[in-house]
């Protein structure tokens, strides 16, 4: 498609890491939760890059076993001592207020204050990220060392917030392909100033959608930016008839640090997306981890719930909950880097490339091996250092191209990079040794 460059090759042109980082830095300061003006501001920032449809679902809407909660917004929050000194201030960091805190304005003792403060005793200089979405409460978050330094006395606590009838906001963008079969790419937008979790995922998918504009693809690509858990549940409830088109899917989060990469399989375990990611990560040159599905994590657990059982996996660099910066103030812009973002982006682009180019050939000379030497095909790809791999790829392709195995099937069985197998197959096709099967490979997903 699109001339000599494949879809995946077109997606990685330029300097994606720097552009993704710049957008992550732009949305990093915004105070986000599962509802509210911060979510809308983030969606509008995304819409400045792509033609994003923004949906508002009213408070009280039933979505399966859940109900869309009241909308939460916070304008100001602080703790002030008797001398008028602010101990913590929401204006300095939106992590200082527990998300969905009810409004409060009181003078309280230090002992009572401590009942409404979250810290990390094992990481005394960091501020934790905490939420109370479905139980009315209020709290502040601060470094443990700061809390320990407070003297007895009375403290003014102010949280100027409201919980009121409003709506839940989410955004989606559909890149139309040649078929109605869809690749779902999902990122959660409910976290406040946490750079890796999940400004990185939001920024990466925004850049991917932008780069996909104008490209001709076989699959349609649906990009979903929604609050975690309740957002995905709401989208599924409103699109129950649409999900039958989803053939592949990825939840994308924590893609900006230098760990992993990590892939958590779909509930099916052997979906094509599971096989493709496992294959790519085996050849990525890093130290990948492949995890079996579990019903704990991000929104893959909603897409993979038994009533849907969609082929959706989770792609990350470091695994959630496994790095010391997770859900703390240390998940800042210093944790993520353009190089790491670019590598994550290329892995997803390579996934798209495989799925877009996974075609089936038939060997036109299937009785014994064809004479490759007289056709000048030995060592014809990539120079001397790649000759052995290319020669082996030729033999595998010729042997397995029986009209049933796709190029990815061959790459997987031969344990060779898909790009090498595809390039070699094109060479064999040009030399008349392969014929492309007209119909697509039968899909089991």
The total number of structural domains that make up the chain? 3
pTM of the full predicted structure? 0.93
List the CATH number of the domain containing 119. 3.50.30.90
- Regarding whether 208 and 284 lie in a shared domain, the answer is yes
Whether residue 257 is found in the same domain as residue 334: yes
Q: Does 107 lie in the same domain as 235? A: no
CA separation for the pair 119, 282 (Å, rounded): 39
**293 and 159: one domain?**
no
The residue range of the domain holding 303 is 7-68+167-357
Q: How far apart, in whole angstroms, are the C-alpha atoms of residue 28 and residue 209?
A: 20
Domain boundary among 357, 384, 406: 357
Domain-ending residue, one of 164, 195, 210: 164
The verdict on residue 443 lying in a domain is no
111 and 237 share one domain: no
**Residues near 122 by beta carbon (within 8 Å), at least 6 away in sequence:** none
In a domain, 445, yes or no: no
Same domain, 30 and 98: no
> 430: helix, coil or strand?
helix
| Distance, CA of 78 to CA of 213 (rounded, Å) | 44
Residues 262 and 311 in one domain: yes
pLDDT score at 380: 55
Both 185 and 331 in a single domain? yes
The CATH number linked to 330 is 3.40.630.10
Judgement on whether residues 41 and 105 belong to the same structural domain of the protein: no
Nearest to 260 by CA among 350, 347, 354: 347
Average pLDDT along the chain, 445 residues, taken 10 residues at a time = 73 93 98 98 98 98 98 98 97 98 98 98 98 96 98 97 98 97 98 97 98 96 98 98 97 97 97 97 93 96 98 97 97 98 97 95 92 75 60 93 95 94 92 78 42
On whether both 203 and 303 belong to a single domain, the answer is yes
């Amino acid at each position: 498609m699109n001339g000599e460059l494949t879809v995946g090759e077109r997606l990685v042109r330029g300097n994606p890491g720097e552009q993704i980082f710049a957008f992550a830095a732009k949305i990093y300061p915004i105070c986000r939760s599962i509802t509210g003006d911060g979510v809308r501001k983030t969606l509008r920032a995304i819409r400045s890059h792509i033609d994003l449809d923004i949906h508002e679902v009213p408070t009280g809407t039933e979505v399966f076993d859940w109900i869309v909660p009241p909308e939460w917004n916070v304008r100001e929050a602080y703790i002030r001592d008797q001398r008028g000194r602010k101990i913590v201030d929401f204006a300095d960091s939106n992590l200082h207020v527990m998300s969905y805190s009810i409004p409060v304005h009181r003078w309280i003792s230090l002992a009572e204050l401590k009942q409404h403060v979250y810290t990390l005793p094992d990481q005394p200089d960091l501020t934790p990220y905490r939420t109370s979405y479905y139980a009315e409460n209020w709290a502040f978050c601060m470094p443990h060392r700061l809390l320990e330094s407070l003297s007895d006395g009375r403290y003014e606590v102010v949280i100027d917030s409201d919980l009121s009838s409003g709506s839940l906001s989410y955004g989606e963008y559909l890149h139309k392909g040649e078929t109605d079969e869809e690749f779902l790419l999902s990122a959660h937008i409910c976290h406040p100033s946490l750079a890796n979790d999940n400004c990185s995922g939001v920024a990466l998918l925004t850049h991917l959608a932008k780069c996909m504009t104008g490209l001709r693809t076989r699959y349609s690509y649906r990009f979903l930016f929604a609050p975690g858990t309740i957002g995905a549940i709401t989208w599924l409830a409103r699109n129950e008839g649409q999900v039958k088109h989803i053939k592949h899917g990825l939840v994308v989060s924590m893609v900006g640090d230098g760990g992993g990469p990590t892939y958590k399989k779909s509930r099916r375990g052997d979906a094509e997306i599971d096989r493709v990611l496992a294959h790519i990560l085996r050849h990525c040159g890093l130290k990948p981890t492949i995890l079996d599905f579990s019903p704990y994590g991000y929104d893959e657990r909603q897409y993979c719930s038994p009533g849907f059982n969609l082929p959706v996996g989770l792609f990350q660099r470091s695994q959630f909950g496994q790095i010391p910066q997770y859900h703390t103030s240390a998940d800042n812009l210093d944790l993520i880097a353009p190089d790491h973002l670019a590598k994550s982006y290329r892995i997803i682009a390579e996934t798209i490339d495989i799925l877009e180019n996974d075609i089936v050939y038939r060997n036109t000379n299937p009785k014994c091996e064809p004479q490759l030497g007289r056709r000048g095909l030995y060592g014809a790809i990539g120079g001397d250092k790649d000759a052995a791999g290319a020669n082996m790829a030729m033999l595998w392709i010729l042997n397995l191209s029986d009209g049933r195995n796709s190029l990815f099937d061959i790459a997987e069985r031969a344990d060779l990079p898909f790009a090498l197998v595809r390039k070699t197959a094109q060479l064999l096709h040009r030399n008349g040794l392969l014929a492309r099967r007209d119909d697509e490979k039968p899909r089991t997903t």
